[in-house]
Structure formats: C-alpha cells, structure tokens
Amino acid sequence: MFKCFNRKLKVTEAEPPTEVMAAFTRFSIGRSTMSADQFRLFLIAYQGQDEVSAAEDAEQIVEEALLQRKEKDDLSPDDGDGISLDEFFRYLLSDDLNGPIHCKVHHDMTAPLSHYFIFTGHNSYLTGNQLSSDCSDAPIIRALQSGVRVIELDMWPNSAKDDILVLHGRTLTSPVTLIKCLKSINLYAFVKSPYPVIITLEDHLTPELQAKVAQMVTETFGDLLYYPEGECLLEFPSPESLKHRIIISTKPPKEYLESKSPKNKEIIAALENDSDDEKERLLGSEFDSKSDEDQDSDEARNSDQKRPEYKLLITIHAGKPKGSLTDALKVAEDMVKRLSLSEYELEKVADSNGTDLVRFTQKNILRIYPKGTRVTSSNYKPNIGWMHGAQMVAFNMQGYGKSLWMMQGMFRANGGCGYVKKPDFLMQQGPNKEVFDPKSTNEVKMNLKVKVFMGHGWKLDFSRTHFDTFSPPDFYTKLYIIGVPADATKKKTQVIEDNWFPVWNEEFIFPLTEPELALLRIEVREYDMSDKDDFGGQTCLPISELRPGIRAVPLYDKKGEKYQSVKLLMRFQFT
C-alpha cells in the first residue's frame, strides 16, 4: 500500500501548489513537519475520509516516511517525528494512496439483477474488426480480467455439424471452438470480481447441438452453474446471491410447449421436476405407442427431449422485439425477461417512448448492442442506454475511442466489480405509476467544483521528442460532463507552453441535475499549431464516486491502459 515511498518519486521539478502548502501549514500549525495526529486530522477534515481507516493510514504513512528519511540519513534534529512538506506533497501525488474514487465495493448488492448496470461485452470472442478478424478466447480472458461480467458467444455448427464453433456468422472471421471459450471463462471468471458472470448465447444450432451445448456447459462449470428450478423467474436473483456463479442468457428454443399436444407439456414437467420415473414413462415405451393425436417420428421425439435439456439451463430468457416496440416493452406480471435492441432501435424508442423503457427496466433487463455498420468495432454513446435504465449496454471491448473510455469510467465505480447499482429515481414510480423521464430538466441537485492544479509524469513515461522535436510540450486539459442532456458540458484550461510539468491552478464549476448518472471525462492534449493536437492521456470518473479533497488522478492511454507515472493533481468539492 505504501510503495509510493519505496519508488522515491521525484516531485522537485514542480513546487507544491499554493493550496497544498497552505493546507500543510494549517494542519502542521506552522511547524516544519506534520505529526501523525495532525495528518489524521487533515485526512478527516480536508479530505473527508473515514476516521478509523484514516487513523490507521496516518500512522503507517508517517512511519514509512520517517523510515525513508533515516535510511537516507536525511533526518535533522528539527524535523521532529512527522512528515515534511515534500513528503506530504509526495503522498498527495500518489494515486495508490490518494486516488480520486472509492476502491471497494460499497453498493447494496442484494437487489435483483435488474437494479444494476452490468459491464457487458459484445462479440466478446473477436480480436479486431467485425468482418475478418480472428475469433479467440484471448479477448474473452482480457475482458474478464478487466471486470466485464457479460460475455457474448455466437454459436454455429461446424461443417460436419457435429461440433460447435464460435464466430461472427456470415463473415470471414476465423472460428474458435465453444469448449475452448467455456474453459477460459471457467478459469478467469472471478479473477477480477466475485460477482456473477452472465454468458449470452446467440444460438444458430440444431436440437442435437443444443443438447451438446448443455452437456459442455454442465461439465465445464459444474457447481458454478446456476439455473432456476422453475421454467420462468418472477424476479431475478441478486448479485450477492449469485457470487461465484455463472448463468446463461439466451432465447429459449422454439419447442413443443407451443404445440397442441398435451403430452409434450407432460414431458416438460417431468424434466423440470427431475422425476426419473416420469421421464422413463413419458419418453420411453409408453410414448412409443402413438395415438391419432400424436404421430411424431422418433427423430422429432428425440429433438423434443434435447430442447428441454438445453432450455432448463437458461436463467435469463432473452428475445428481440416482434411487432411494435411498444408491445415488446410491456411489463408482464408473471415473468421477467431480457429484451435486446440495437443502438438505432434504442434511439428511436427513447425519442418516442422513453418512459416505457424506464418502466420496463425496473423489472426486466434491457440489452443494447452496436449497429451492424460498426465493422471496425467502434462503439456508441453508452449514457443514452444508462439514463433509460438499460442494464446491459453491450460494447466492443476490443474497440477504441471516447465511448469506450466512458464505459470504462462507469465501471470504475463500486470497486470495479462490474455491477453498479442504478440510481433510486430510475427504480421508483409515482402515485400514478409515473417514472423518471430522461427528457425532463430537473433542478440542480449539486455543484461540482473541480480545480486542476498541475500535471506530472510525462517526462518519465515519454521520450524527449515524443510531443515536440525541439522543445518541451505545451499541455492543456479538457473536462467533460457526460450524463443526462441537461448536465452535458465541457471546459478547458489554458495552454502551458514549453513545460513537462504544467501548472494550471484553474477551477471550474459544473451544475448537476442528475449527478448519479454523470461522468467526468478528463483528457490532456498537447497543443500543436500546425497539426492535430497530440494525445497526452485520459480518464473517466463516475461523479457519484469522487472523493472530496486534493487527489492524484492517474491517466490512461487510448486503449485504457494506465500510464506508469502520468497523473494530474486535482481538487474536488461538492456544494
């Protein structure tokens, strides 16, 4: 936890901001060092941190700082038993110790799955573009390691129709076997988060191969696999109750439940009740004596048996809208389901029936997927789905760009566990069953004050000529609020010329009507007079998770990988 002192960060290139020096003077009461008790008071009063953990942190941080000074033989009689201004500044610049957001799971995890935004991947097996890239378990592993909780697999028969392949159908993508994907999910499902992994299956299989899928799934996952005893759930289980479990979501196969034969319904009941005697009676010799009503062939009967075996493993029943979207969004009293809409369909229904979406997602799950023209694995704006309550905003995690940064930012919340509790207002209904309307403009709930002090670390992580061949870089910072339309805005600092350690000391105020849905996107650019400005780092932070006070904000590259040293020193306040 205290490795920042072991790294011996050099921050002497830039002096501590005036506000940092003022805070040190205030809490050290003018002395050259700050005692553990004084440092603890700073953490509580200035940083708004919990008293118990702050007390433990304060003692250990001061002890570590003193040990460092003794090892360097740098302890003078006047230093006392506390930390110096330089060590105080070093602490503030450590994102390990002084990061901008909460790092532990702290949301209520006992509500139904429909009450959460869930980190969701699209075509999780693709390594690149949607038309010709390889299919592999490698991107599935990377997604799980980054906290993704919903993995999508498209299942197709192989040429001999005796095995199952995963690939993007009707494209030039090279396949990977289903069993390889399942085994990798089994190995990596819970390396990042203990909360459930949902496998969404796009099924293009025969009944025989569906039965093979059922066998693969049960043998691979064993006791990790969760599926309900009954046919349809009245309410989804909670993430807490499904810890370290894997669940299947797909469209149930068209089966004989819809046929006119009452015998078929008996078969379903026997399979669901796990009654061996009933199975033997209904699927055995007695079933072979055909009546005028039931003249199914042996092949049809076998297909009927295989379909229930597969169907019974499905926890989240999925489907796409048939007919009007208004009808598809009607909430059933006797079951819950998952509905899938393309980003285009979402925009269309959000424009005309936004409150129907919100009402549907209070009980059911809504999955949004990228439109088919995104062949380069680009992504869409996720906040449109979130503000309407959509739980599964499916993203091309092998993609790129600002939309993916927003997705990564949202799921830094709640300890990065992949499940973020939806705001209460998305789950509430008024006396006349009215629900939240994303189009409405509500009163400002709070103001977020953001001060950008300075930047640090580019000289450590980049070559001398990366930004400019003959001079130091010219950095500026851009700040964006992403959320409901009323809150969307952007600000920009001035350009600091020719400096690897830019100091801005600029403050911005953002009025927020729905801070629970808002993200703060931060991007550093290097000004270029003759060409496009160079990229200098980015991050995206959920505003509801921001810790008040002076914080070290680490920056990430375009792919979302964290830089080793690059960060901003910022202050956050809520008024």
Reported as a single tens digit per residue, the pLDDT across 126-139 is 999 999 999 999 99
Q: Is 168 a catalytic residue?
A: yes
Report pLDDT for 293: 47
Report pLDDT for 290: 45
Task: Report CA-CA distances (Å) from 328 to 319, 389, 500, 502.
Answer: 9, 16, 56, 54
Angle (deg, nearest 10), helices 85-92 and 18-28 = 120
Report pLDDT for 79: 54
Q: Is 122 a catalytic residue?
A: yes
pLDDT exceeds 50 at position 281: no
Residue appearing with tokens 């350690």: 501
Q: In 3D, which of 233, 146, 235, 250 has the Cα closest to residue 198?
A: 250
Residue appearing with tokens 């490795």: 3
Is the separation of the CB atoms in 155 and 201 below 8 Å?
yes
CA distance 546 to 459: 27
Angle (deg, nearest 10), helices 178-188 and 207-221 = 30
**118 in helix, strand or coil?**
strand
Mean pLDDT along residues 545-556: 97
pLDDT exceeds 90 at position 558: yes
One of 102, 107, 115, 122 is an active-site residue; which one?
Answer: 122
CA distance 293 to 295: 6
Report pLDDT for 254: 74
Q: Which has more confidence, 308 or 241?
A: 241
Least confident segment among 56-70, 237-251, 323-337, 496-510: 56-70
pLDDT exceeds 70 at position 297: no
Report pLDDT for 441: 87
User: Which residues make Cβ contacts (< 8 Å) with residue 3, sequence separation at least 6?
Assistant: 96
The region that residue 418 occupies, defined by phi over 0 for left and psi between -120 and 50 for alpha, beta otherwise, is left
- Give me the percent of the chain exceeding a pLDDT of 70: 85
pLDDT exceeds 80 at position 258: no
pLDDT exceeds 60 at position 12: no
Tokens standing for residue 449: 């004050």
Chain centroid offset of residue 42 CA: 33
CA distance 356 to 350: 9
Instruction: Band the pLDDT of 303: cuts 50, 70, 90.
Output: low
Mean pLDDT along residues 33-61: 85
Instruction: Band the pLDDT of 531: cuts 50, 70, 90.
Output: confident
Report pLDDT for 14: 80
Report pLDDT for 206: 94
User: What digits encode the pLDDT tens for the residues 209-239?
Assistant: 999 999 999 999 999 999 998 768 999 999 9
Mean pLDDT along residues 360-384: 96
Most confident segment among 6-15, 279-288, 302-311? 302-311
- Give me the percent of the chain exceeding a pLDDT of 90: 76
One of 115, 168, 317, 388 is an active-site residue; which one?
Answer: 168
CA distance 144 to 151: 8
Buried b (16+ CB within 10 A) or exposed e, 282-299: bbeeebeeeeeeeebeee
DSSP state of 243: T
Report pLDDT for 62: 80
pLDDT exceeds 90 at position 378: yes
pLDDT exceeds 50 at position 398: yes
Report the DSSP pairing between strands 120-121 and 314-319.
unpaired
Q: Which has more confidence, 367 or 50?
A: 367
Mean pLDDT along residues 450-479: 95
Mean pLDDT along residues 407-435: 97
Mean pLDDT along residues 499-517: 97
Chain centroid offset of residue 346 CA: 20
What is the radius of gyration, based on Cα positions, of the chain?
Answer: 28
Identity of the residue numbered 313: L
CA distance 151 to 198: 6
pLDDT exceeds 50 at position 286: no
Which segments within 272-395 are labelled E, that is strand? 314-319, 338-342, 365-369, 392-395
Report pLDDT for 291: 46
Domains of the chain: 3-98 (1.10.238), 113-254+315-424 (3.20.20.190), 446-574 (2.60.40.150)
Exposed, middle or buried: residue 260 (CB in 10 Å: 0-12, 13-18, 19+)?
exposed
pLDDT exceeds 70 at position 3: no
Tokens standing for residue 294: 């039931």
Q: In 3D, which of 542, 526, 543, 522 has the Cα closest to residue 534?
A: 526
pLDDT exceeds 60 at position 264: no
pLDDT exceeds 80 at position 337: yes
Residue appearing with tokens 């379903």: 268
CA distance 4 to 480: 29
CB-side neighbour CA atoms (13 Å) of 228 = 16
pLDDT exceeds 60 at position 66: yes
CA distance 11 to 19: 16
Report pLDDT for 65: 73
Least confident segment among 41-45, 66-70, 146-150, 441-445: 66-70
Chain centroid offset of residue 438 CA: 21
The sign of the CA dihedral 435, 439, 440, 442 is: positive
User: Which residues make Cβ contacts (< 8 Å) with residue 510, sequence separation at least 6?
Assistant: 447, 448, 449, 450, 479, 481, 487, 489, 491, 520
CA distance 50 to 549: 13
